[in-house]
Structure 1
């Protein structure tokens, strides 16, 4: 059975449409992350109105699929500049809709860094109406440097992970759009990690709802609603709106 490429698995934006097997994608996107008051009151300039530029690519074949992106944030501010690297892969299990799943997500700022490795199983399927659905369950291994916060977290196994993704393309008049919604969940996390990372509570989640207007085959614009609860460095809820312009080669 031919598998579809899960190009919607993006640790920060996840804004690409699913591509057919044996396909590839390379794109560059730039925009603004406009975080809400809950985030800005807690993080200050760290989550306020922050620029980003991202290079992302994906490929897939009968063996499996691979997605990766590299993102720079706050490039105009040397004291705040950060980076993000995300690699997501699936290896097909026979002719079924199940896969071996792996993800490596690294986030760095001038005063801290964290790498999350997620290994497990996934299921994905594209339906006749074009709807793509994906579910993955994995173990979570973390390595981090929080020495700026006077913490000596050694890392290691950090509980479990679940993510689900839905995406679909559609038309309004003669205009092409796509919609992606994904949400990931963490549980069973280390108490010291929760204290140093700022997440606070054991169960945490974050996700995005992304509307993309495909103005041409190469040029598209996106509006993303990003949200998190007991995750992304803050106990409780915070959210924001992200605006992006993407060119696909």
Structure 2
């Protein structure tokens, strides 16, 4: 299983950060950011077991990027969570974690329709890990108003250190965005959302994913400042996901530099 996890993480990084040299490059973007996730008190309470807080507020550093080519597009990020955590941790939520996500859309020849693949992996210093893969199709929507949306649906594979490694129903979701101005100031709103459905009963045997359906996502407001700097406020939410059957939410404060 550890070998599978290592391969999954390596694959996600390669998927997000590389592209065939023979493909025509169309566009690209990248950023580095400092972020702080402030969970609500009720979320922390719902993730406290016998005094052990499995979720705590944390700082994380992120590098992300994407690119478009004549054959399709790639996107990915890598997060380092709790990077300055010491060795003496009173709560398991204080562990240092690494999360990596990569997505790829391959043009089908049908306008706006792509074959879609997604790989997300997270692991921490306590030995926890989970890998989620999605294989399906995506539809790309772009408008002249500045609104865009990319919905997808596919089959879902999951593996974790609790002993589950199997196909796990399906996943549907989307990313969307809208750019606008207030006076001379540039802003944008964005959202990503994922719904897992028809999950395997065995996936919830550890008692934290009792529902066969789970939701996960974030809604963000971004303020694009001069000199390639962006600040943002994100509302982070999850339901029957992230290791808990209850609803969980918090705010993420972000400052990023765009390349």
Aligned to 1:246: 256
Aligned partner of 2:180 in structure 1 is: 170
The structure with the larger Rg is 2
Q: Does 1:29 align with 2:33?
A: yes
Q: Return the match for 2:55 from 8, 28, 47.
A: 47
Distance 2:206 2:227 in 1: 44
Q: Is 1:100 matched up with 2:115? A: yes
Q: Partners of 2:255 and 2:57 in 1: how far apart? A: 16
Q: Is the CA contact (8 Å cut-off) linking 1:39 and 1:48 kept in structure 2?
A: no
Distance change (3 Å), C-alpha of 1:66 and 1:197: farther
* 1:209 maps onto 2:225 in alignment: no
Give the distance between the partners of 1:195 and 1:169, measured in 2 at CA. Answer: 43
- Matched residue, 2:69: 61
Deviation at 1:189, TM superposition (A): 1.0
**Structure 1 stretches of at least 4 aligned residues deviating more than 2 Å after TM superposition:** 42-48
CA contact (8 A) 1:29 1:54 kept: yes
CA distance in 1, matches of 2:109, 2:36: 41
Q: Which moved more, 1:33-42 or 1:119-128?
A: 33-42
Aligned positions, number: 223
Which of 144, 161, 181 lines up with 2:160 in the alignment? 144
Task: Give the Cα–Cα distance (whole angstroms) in 2 for the partners of residues 159 and 115 of structure 1.
Answer: 14
Q: 2:131 aligns with which of 115, 122, 126?
A: 115
Q: 1:72 aligns with which of 77, 80, 92?
A: 80
Distance (whole Å) between structure 1 residues aligned to residue 116 and residue 226 of structure 2: 33
Segments of 5+ residues of structure 1 without an aligned counterpart are 1-20, 147-151
TM-score (norm 2): 0.82
Deviations 1:20-42 (A, max 9, x none): x8111121011200011232113
Q: Residues 57 and 68 of structure 1 are in contact (CA less than 8 Å); yes or no, is this contact kept in structure 2?
A: yes
Cα distance between partner residues in 1 of 2:154 and 2:227: 35
Runs of 5+ consecutive residues of structure 2 not aligned to the other structure: 1-24, 90-94
Cα drift, residue 47 of structure 1: 2.4
CA contact (8 A) 1:133 1:166 kept: yes
Q: Structure 1 length normalisation: TM-score?
A: 0.85
Contact 2:46 2:246 in 1 (8 A): no
Q: Which moved more, 1:235-244 or 1:42-51?
A: 42-51
Aligned counterpart, 1:131: 147
Distance 2:117 2:196 in 1: 15
